[in-house]
Structure 1
Amino acid sequence: MISYSVLDLLALLIVMSGIILQTWVGIGFGLLAAPILYLVDPAYVPVPALILGFSLSLLLVLNQHKLLCWRRVLPAIIARFPGCWCGALLLVSVPPNLLSILFGCVLLMAVLTSLYACKITLNSITLCVGGFFSGLIGTATSVGGPPIALVYQGVDRITARNELAAFFLIGTPISILFLALQGRVDIGSLLLSLKMLPGVLVGFGIARLCDNRISASSSKPVLLFISSASAITILYKGISGWWSA
C-alpha cells in the first residue's frame, strides 16, 4: 500500500495546481509546478515531472480528440524532432549557462515583439518555427513550452489547449528518451511518478468541472505571462550559474 508523508501531500497539491493551469490554457505545469516540486525534493525533476505532464496530455487528447485538428499541429510535431537533435548537439558543444542566457534573451525578445510590434499568425511556417525552437530550447534548458505557445496566442483557449496537448503528447516522450539514454530514468523515478498520478487525475477532474465557467476567448495574456516568466527563469538560471562558476 502506498503511504504519503506531509511532503508527499504537499507535492500532490503542487501537481494538482499545475495540472489545473495546464488543462485550462495548454502550458504551465512544467514551468510553474516543476521548480516548486524541485524545492520539495529534487527527485521530482525532470523525469517524474515529464511523465506527469505526458499523462495530462494523454488525458486531454483522449477527452478532446473530436475537437483536435492533427493536420494543423503536425508541422510543429515534425519540426520538434530536428530541434531536439540540434539542442542535444548544443548541449555538448556550448556551455549550458551561455545557452540559458542566449535562449532567455531570444524568448524575451519574442514575447516583447509579439506584445508591442506584431501579431504572430498561426500557419504552417510559424508552427514549424515554434516546434523547432520548442525542441531546441526544451532539450537544452528543459523549458520548451513557450516557443510553441507563442504561436497559439491568438487562437481561442480551447484550440490552443487541445493542440498544445497533442504537440506535447508526441514531443514529451522524445525528451524522456534522451534522458533514458543518459541513464536518468530509473525505477525510483517511475514509482514517484505513479505516486503523484492521483494529483494529475484530481487536477484534471477539477479543471474539467470548472472549464465551462472560463472564457473560451484568446488565451494570449496568460500565454504571454507564462512565456515571460519562462524567459526570466531561464535567464536567471544562466546568469546565476555563470556567476557561481
Structure 2
Amino acid sequence: MLAAQILGIEGWQMALAMGIVLIGAATQASIGVGLGLMAAPTLSLIDPAFIPGALTLSIPPLVIGMAWRERQFIDRTIYRAVPARLLGSIAGAVLVATQGEDAVTIVIGLAVLLAVVASTTGLHFRPTLRNQLIAGTGSGFAGTVAGVGGPPMAITYQHSDPQVLRATLAIFNTIGLICFTLPSLVIAGVTGWREVQLACFLIPSVVAGLLVGKYTIAKLPPERVRPFVLVVCAASAVVVLTKTVV
C-alpha cells in the first residue's frame, strides 16, 4: 500500500486510522463533538506524528463543512468568546511552562467531570455572555493543556437546539483552529511535512464522516443529542485523567 511505502506505516494500520477518523468525524458531525476523543488514543499508538499535528490539520474540512451546512443556526453571539479562547490558550501555555502539564491536566479533567455531573443534577448552563467568556477561556486553556477544548463550550450550549449547538461549536472551532491552534503548532515546530502527508490520508475520512453525519442527523432524535454530548464530554475527561494518572 502507498502509505506503507512512503510513510513507514503498515497498510492495515493506516486503514484502521482512517476508519476510526471516519467514525469520529461522523459522530462530531451529528452531535458537535467527538472526533478528537474517539480518534486520538488509537492514532497516537499507530504513529505519534498523528497527534496533534496530522489530526489537527485534517479537522478544518469537518468544522467548516458543519458550520456551512447549518450556517443559518449559528449563534452570532459566539464571536465574543473568541478573544477569551485566545487568552485561555496563552494562560494554558504559561501555566504548563511554569507548573508542569500533569497537575494542570488533572484539574481540567476533574472540572469537566464536575460540570457534567452538575448538568445531570438539573443545573442549567446557558450561553450568556458570562458563560460564553468562561467557556471560551476554558476551551482555549483545556485545548492547549490537555487537547480537550470542546467540552467547555459544548456543556454551555447543551440545552440549545441541536442545530444551534452543532453550528455554533463548528464555527467556534473553525476560528480557533485556523487562527490559534494551527499557527501555534507550526511555530512550535511540531507540524511539518510528515504531519501534512499523514493528514492527506485522514482528510478523505473526515469528509466521508461529514457526509455520513448528514444522514445520522436525520435519524437522531433531538432529545438524544444532549445525553450524547454529556457522555462524550465525560469520556473526554476520563481519558485525560487516565492518561495523566496511569
Q: TM-score, normalised by structure 2?
A: 0.91
1:13 maps onto 2:19 in alignment: yes
Choose from 102, 105, 110 the match for 1:105: 110
Choose 95-104 or 216-225, whichever is displaced more.
216-225
How far residue 66 of structure 1 moved from its aligned partner, in angstroms, is 2.8
CA separation in 1, counterparts of 2:67 and 2:3?
31
* Selected match of 1:85 from 72, 90, 101: 90
* CA distance in 1 between partners of 2:223 and 2:120 (Å): 17
* 2-structure distance, mates of 1:213, 1:107: 28
Equivalent-residue separation in structure 2 for 1:239 and 1:32 (angstroms): 20
| C-alpha separation in 1, matches of 2:72 and 2:163 | 12
1:91-146 Cα deviation digits (max 9, x unpaired): 11111111111111222111112221511122221111111101011111111111
Please tell me whether residue 114 in structure 1 is matched to residue 119 in structure 2: yes
CA–CA distance in structure 1, aligned partners of residues 71 and 122 of structure 2: 35
One-letter amino acid matched to 1:51: L
The Cα of 1:219 is off from its aligned counterpart by 2.3
Distance 2:224 2:12 in 1: 38
Q: Which residue of 1 is the match for residue 65 of structure 2?
A: 59
Separation in 2 of the partners of 1:3 and 1:235?
Answer: 33
- Per-residue CA deviation, residues 27-47 of structure 1 (Å, 9 max, x unaligned), is 100111111221222221111
Match of 2:230 among 224, 230, 234: 224
2:156 corresponds to which residue?
151
Q: Could you report, residue by residue, the CA deviation over 1:172-212 in whole angstroms, capped at 9, with x for unpaired residues?
A: 23122222111111011011111211101211112113322
Q: Is the 8 A contact 2:21 2:202 kept in 1?
A: yes
Structure-2 separation of matches of 1:189 and 1:151: 32
Runs of at least 5 residues in structure 1 that lack an aligned partner in the other structure = 241-245
The number of residues matched between the two structures is 239
* Secondary structure, aligned partner of 2:123: coil
Task: Work out whether residues 156 and 217 of structure 1, in 8 Å CA contact, stay in contact via their aligned partners in 2.
Answer: no
Secondary structure at the residue paired with 1:219? helix
1:138 maps to 143
Q: Which residue of 1 aligns with 2:40?
A: 34
Contact kept in structure 2, 1:79 and 1:129, CA below 8 Å: yes
SS in 2 for 1:121: coil
Matched, 1:186 2:207: no
- What RMSD over aligned residues (CA atoms) do the two structures have, in Å? 1.7
Q: Which residue of 1 aligns with 2:217?
A: 211
How far, CA to CA, are the matches of 2:154 and 2:79 in structure 1? 15
**Runs of 4+ deviating beyond 3 Å:** 1-4
Does 1:128 pair with 2:145?
no
Q: Does structure 2 retain, via aligned residues, the 8 Å contact 1:19–1:204? A: yes
Relative to the length of structure 1, the TM-score reads 0.91
Report if the CA contact (8 A) 2:30-2:216 is conserved: no
Which whole-Å CA distance do the structure 2 matches of 1:63 and 1:97 have between them? Answer: 38
- Cα offset, 1:148, TM superposition: 0.9
Task: Report if aligned partners of 2:85, 2:139 keep a CA contact under 8 Å in 1.
Answer: yes
8 Å contact from structure 1 (residues 155, 218) kept in 2: no
